[in-house]
């Protein structure tokens, strides 16, 4: 009993010690709580405004480690992606101009910013982007992606500065679209560009190339994001139509021998397509005997002399005209027929006989000149004018009437002949609008009316419906004239087909291709179907 007794003083001392111990316990607990708050990430109360300020401050200093620490789930190549941009573009300085942080109320926020970089030796490159942020495991973190470096980028990009040389003249199609590079059109575009380029000394240019910031996103195609000191080249529209050009090139590619397709707009003379497998500017500058396609010229002369498409005409298998024996292909004969049917069946004997007996060299020469033969025109690049030398009244006149002898034409010229029939007026073919054509040194001849054009259209239509081009799959409404131009004794022949469909005239030529009806007409059908 005695051992359990406590004095008042002892009890007071014990209470005092208890209070001290309790105070120490509380102090230790508070200290532990503070320490836990310091080492437990989940309790970081930094908001998006403070996070954005910290991230931009670290970015300004180039502290990639600090930036990475503020990112949620940073990629392994975080540092490498930043360094690839800086090193690839020789970045000398960076300036960041953040905007106001905007929250979306769903644990997300974003800070718009403008970033400017000094590119060594070239100047400043700046653009706008977004710093995206969100709450991750209870704290605000930067939601980084490659688009933070450049808007729209999805993967690690590669960056470089590349030299840029802009051509003095860039040519486009009639609507401003890009024309195919290389291929059969290249000599024509090069010729036009050279003609339109300024003379040396005309440009205020030191000849130094410009530069481009080029980026490839994740190994994708490289694209230019910024140009430095790149002078503007001149853009000039041609008369070419990309769809028609593609159709013409496909037809030439399918030809069994070197070939050319030229297409024109009859109402203007504009060249819509030139697919040239002859080499260089062959479709414009090379001359060939036109064969029976020249009967279009002879028919025009006959109509101007008073004949009508329905007038009677003889088509024997063989005829002697001006002491020159003329035979029809395969020795065929149509007997007594009409001028229209003789044209549709391409009767050599009919046209040789009428040229000698009725026209003579004067009237035939007038018709040839009215349809462009010997007429000077410059479509923008080199072009031959065609040739119809005075054949006299002898056997050379008979040969000329069927497109042989010394008669020569280019595929371009024969396309203009077909265009003249369709429109009723022969017009100079051209690759450019009148003003740039003049600047390129080109010129157009005066338009010329075609006598008997309406009757000629019925005759060319008969070629397709019942004549030498029938049954070849030509689109409805096509009219034309076939030609097989002999190259001499045992020398083979060129295949021709010229004509029109709607407001498009064309010439199809296959060098030493053989028969016009068998070779050139099917190519024309392929071209016209694709061009529609």
Which string of DSSP letters, residue by residue, matches 138-154?
Answer: TEEEE---HHHHSTT--
Are 280 and 388 found together in one domain? yes
CATH classification at residue 373:
3.40.710.10
Q: Which helix (H) or strand (E) holds 211?
A: strand 210-217
147 and 260 belong to one structural domain: no
State the Cα–Cα distance between residues 111 and 98, nearest whole angstrom: 7
Question: Would you tell me the crossing angle of helices 360-370 and 295-304 to the nearest 10 degrees?
Answer: 110
Other Cβ atoms within 10 Å of 126 Cβ, number = 12
How is residue 480 written in tokens? Answer: 């034309």
Claim to verify: residue 120 and residue 268 sit in the same structural domain: no
Do 257 and 373 share a domain, yes or no? yes
Q: What pLDDT digit, counting tens, does each position of 82-101 carry?
A: 999 999 999 999 999 999 99
- Among the listed ranges 40-44, 189-193, 409-413, which one has the minimum average pLDDT value? 40-44
Each residue of 414-447: pLDDT tens digit? Answer: 999 999 999 999 999 999 999 999 999 999 999 9
SS3 assignment, position 329? helix
* Residue 23 falls inside a structural domain: no
Containing H/E element for 172? strand 169-172
Query: Does 188 map to a domain?
Result: no
Total residues found in the chain within this entry: 532
Higher pLDDT, 77 or 20: 77
pLDDT at position 3: 34
The total number of structural domains in the chain stands at 2
The C-alpha atoms of residue 192 and residue 316 are separated, in whole angstroms, by 49
Task: Indicate if the pLDDT at residue 365 is higher than 50.
Answer: yes
Tokens of 17: 């010690």
Among candidate residues 133, 157, 181, the one where a domain is terminated: 157
Tell me, yes or no, whether 40 lies in a domain.
no
Domain termination residue (choose one: 137, 157, 177): 157
Residue 285 φ/ψ, nearest 5 degrees: -105, -20
* Residue 182 binned pLDDT confidence (cut-offs 50, 70, 90): confident
C-beta pairs of 216-221 under 8 Å, 24+ apart in sequence: 216/157, 216/158, 217/146, 217/153, 217/154, 217/155, 217/157, 218/154, 218/155, 218/156, 218/157, 219/155, 219/158
pLDDT of residue 393: 86
Query: Would you say residue 39 lies in a domain?
Result: no
Coil/strand/helix, residue 76:
coil
147 in the same domain as 250: no
The answer to whether residues 401 and 302 belong to one domain is yes
Give the per-residue pLDDT at 207: 53
In this predicted structure, which of 12-26, 138-152, 250-264, 371-385 has the lowest mean pLDDT? 12-26
**139 and 248: one domain?**
no
CA 117 to each of CA 142, 144, 226, 230: distance values in angstroms, whole numbers, following the listed order: 22, 20, 12, 19
Give Cα 206 distance to the centre of its chain: 30
Whether 194 is in a domain gets the answer: no
pLDDT band at 331 (very low <50, low <70, confident <90, very high): confident
How far is 519 from 256, CA to CA, in rounded Å? 8
Statement: residue 150 has pLDDT above 70: yes
Structural contact between residues 206 and 196, judged by C-beta atoms closer than 8 angstroms = no
To the nearest 10°, the Cα dihedral for 398, 401, 403, 407? Answer: 80
> Does 366 share its domain with 486?
yes
Predicted TM-score of the model (pTM) = 0.73
Cβ atoms within 10 Å of 86's Cβ, excluding its own: 14
The full DSSP string for 5-68 is ---HHHHHHHHHHHHHHHHHHHHHHHHHHHHHHHH-GGG----HHHHHHHHHHHHHHT-HHHHH
Contact (Cβ atoms closer than 8 angstroms) between residue 351 and residue 288: no
Q: Give SS3 for 523.
A: helix
- Give phi and psi for 389, each to the nearest 5: -65, 150
Question: Which distant-in-sequence residues (6+ apart) come within 8 Å of 24 by Cβ?
Answer: none
Query: How many angstroms separate the Cα of 462 from the Cα of each of 23, 94, 338, 531?
Result: 119, 76, 12, 23
- Tell me if 20 is assigned to some domain: no
- Tell me, what CATH number does 117's domain have? 3.10.450.100
Confidence at 192, pLDDT banded by 50, 70, 90: very high
Q: pLDDT tens across 197-219, in order?
A: 876 544 444 456 789 999 999 88
Residues of the domain holding 527: 242-531
Domain boundary pick from 157, 182, 200: 157
**Would you place residue 329 in the very low, low, confident or very high pLDDT band (cuts 50, 70, 90)?**
confident
Q: Is residue 453 part of a domain?
A: yes
Does a structural domain hold residue 171? no
Q: What is the mean pLDDT of the chain?
A: 89
Q: 526 and 388, same structural domain? A: yes
């Amino acid at each position: 009993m005695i051992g359990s007794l406590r004095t008042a003083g002892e009890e007071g001392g014990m209470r005092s010690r208890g209070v001290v111990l309790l105070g120490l316990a509380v102090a230790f607990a508070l200290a532990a709580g503070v320490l836990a708050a310091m080492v437990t990430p989940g309790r970081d109360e930094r908001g998006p405004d403070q996070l954005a300020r910290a991230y931009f401050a670290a970015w300004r200093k180039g502290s990639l480690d600090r930036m990475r620490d503020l990112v949620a789930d940073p990629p392994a190549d975080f540092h490498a992606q930043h360094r690839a941009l800086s090193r690839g573009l020789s970045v000398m300085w960076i300036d960041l101009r953040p905007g106001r942080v905007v929250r979306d109320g769903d644990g997300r926020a974003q800070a718009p910013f403008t970033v400017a970089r000094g590119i060594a030796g070239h100047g400043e490159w700046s653009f706008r982007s977004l710093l995206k942020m969100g709450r991750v495991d209870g704290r605000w973190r930067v939601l980084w992606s490659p688009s933070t470096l450049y808007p729209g980028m999805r993967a690690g990009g590669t960056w470089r500065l590349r030299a840029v040389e802009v051509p003095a003249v860039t040519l486009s199609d009639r609507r401003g679209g890009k024309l195919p590079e290389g291929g059969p059109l290249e000599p024509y575009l090069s010729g036009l560009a050279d003609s339109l380029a300024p003379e040396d000394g005309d440009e205020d240019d030191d000849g130094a190339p410009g530069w481009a910031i080029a980026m490839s996103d994740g190994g994708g195609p490289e694209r230019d994001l910024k140009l430095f000191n790149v002078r503007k080249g001149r853009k000039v529209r041609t008369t070419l139509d990309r769809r028609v050009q593609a159709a013409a090139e496909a037809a030439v590619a399918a030809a069994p021998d070197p070939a050319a397709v030229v297409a024109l707009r009859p109402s203007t003379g504009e060249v819509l397509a030139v697919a040239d497998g002859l080499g260089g500017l062959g479709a414009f500058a090379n001359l060939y005997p036109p064969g029976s396609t020249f009967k279009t010229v002879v028919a025009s002369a006959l109509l101007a002399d008073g004949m009508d498409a329905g007038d009677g005409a003889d088509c024997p298998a063989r005829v002697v005209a001006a002491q020159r024996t003329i035979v029809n292909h395969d020795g065929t004969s149509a007997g007594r027929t009409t001028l229209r049917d003789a044209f549709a069946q391409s009767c050599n004997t009919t046209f040789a006989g009428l040229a000698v007996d009725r026209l003579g060299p004067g009237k035939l020469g007038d018709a040839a000149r009215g349809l462009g033969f010997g007429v000077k025109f410059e479509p923008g690049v080199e072009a031959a004018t065609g040739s119809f030398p005075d054949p006299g009244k002898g056997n050379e006149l008979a040969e000329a009437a069927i497109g042989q002898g010394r008669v020569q034409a280019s595929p371009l010229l024969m396309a203009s002949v077909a265009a003249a029939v369709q429109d009723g007026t022969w017009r100079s073919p051209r690759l450019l609008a009148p003003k740039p054509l003049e600047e390129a040194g080109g010129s157009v001849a005066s338009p010329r009316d075609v006598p008997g054009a309406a009757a000629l259209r019925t005759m060319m239509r008969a070629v397709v419906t019942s004549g030498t081009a029938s049954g070849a799959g030509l689109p409805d409404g096509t009219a034309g004239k076939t030609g097989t131009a002999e190259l001499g004794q045992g020398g083979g022949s060129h295949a021709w087909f010229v004509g029109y469909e709607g407001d498009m005239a064309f010439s199809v030529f296959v060098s030493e291709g053989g028969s016009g009806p068998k070779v050139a007409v099917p190519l024309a059908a392929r071209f016209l179907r694709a061009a529609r």
